[in-house]
Structure 1
Amino acid sequence: MTTLASSKSLLGRSLLLDGVVSGATGALMFLAATPLAGLLGLHERLLRFAGFSLLPFAALLVFLAVRPRVSRPLVWAIVGYNLLWAVDSLLLLTTDWVAPTALGYVFTVFQAVAVAGFAGLQYVGLRGRRMVTA
């Protein structure tokens, strides 16, 4: 299996930051879905489900960030997942499924850009890390 040195690198730090932000966002969306739904114009079930789905993802990111080595294919999967989340978030705004408020648009676009930024940092971290054969 091919692994990458992780902790204290750009890759490790970007995984950690992504994990902390994803965990905080997920907890907020899950626990405060009802008031957020009104403010953002997004469905409560969508917010609750999306928030809940972020919690194990965030835990995985934090776990990987503190490991001395991480699986290269797993990090590629995380980059892909982040890009998919960002694209899906923006596509959501083009559907009739939601009727976001101005704040809902800002929230959705901001988090899509942030997630794409994490994917970019992780990609750069992948490209810059030396491989270790385990």
Structure 2
Amino acid sequence: MTEQAAALSRGTLADSSEKFLRLALKLDAVVTGLNGLAYLVAAPLLGDLFDMSTGLLRGIGIFLTVFAAAVWVVGTRPVVSSAGATAVVVVNAVWVVASLVAAVVGLDGASTIARVWMVMQAAVVGLFAVLQIVGLRRQRP
């Protein structure tokens, strides 16, 4: 009976860990997807507000929308792929660094509002990456 209880406990812990990672991935996908769609739909308005070209903003919107779909797929598979989740973390980390660099150098003549937005986005994406790393670590035996 003790072995069964231990196996059940491990199973419950594994389920809980996978649920945590799955939730972190799905939340990332939803927020990223909404952000991407906003860039696509509101590119002219955001271009004026951010002092950035609508072409660049639409390109960012396309990337974010496609990435969100990929993250959703990783988070909704019957078994969450560690490799897939790790790839999401890597892309998120690259996004954070690129956003901070863009904010510092003023990508495409970005306004102060755009630079603040870039830093805020970097913080949110960084939080997603941290949550996903925690979820991945919890999955390891």
The two structures share one fold, judged by TM-score above 0.5: yes
Shift of 1:77: 1.0
Q: Deviations over 1:65-110 (max 9, x none)?
A: 2223122112111101000011001111233542222321221111
Count of aligned residue pairs for this structure pair: 128
1:6 Cα deviation from its structure 2 partner: 8.5
- How far apart in 2 are the matches of 1:110 and 1:129? 29
Q: When you count strand as a share of all residues, which structure comes out higher? A: 1
Matched, 1:15 2:53: no
Cα distance per residue 1:31-66 (max 9 Å; x no partner): 111110110122222111011011121112222222
Per the alignment, in what secondary structure is the counterpart of residue 9 of structure 1? helix
Q: Which moved more, 1:83-92 or 1:40-49?
A: 40-49
Matched residue, 1:121: 131
What are the within-5 Å matches in structure 2 for residues 26-41 of structure 1?
26-41=36-51
**C-alpha distance in structure 1 between counterparts of 2:107 and 2:69, whole Å:** 29
Instruction: Give SS of 2:80's match.
Output: strand
CA RMSD of aligned residues (A): 2.1
TM-score (normalised: structure 2): 0.81
Higher helix share: 2
What SS does the corresponding residue of 1:70 show, helix, strand or coil?
coil
Match in the other structure for 1:90? 100
Q: 2:117 aligned with 1:110, yes or no?
A: no
The structure with the larger Rg is 2
Instruction: Kindly provide the amino acid, as one letter, of the partner of residue 44 in structure 2.
Output: T
| Structure 2: runs of 5+ lacking an equivalent | 1-13
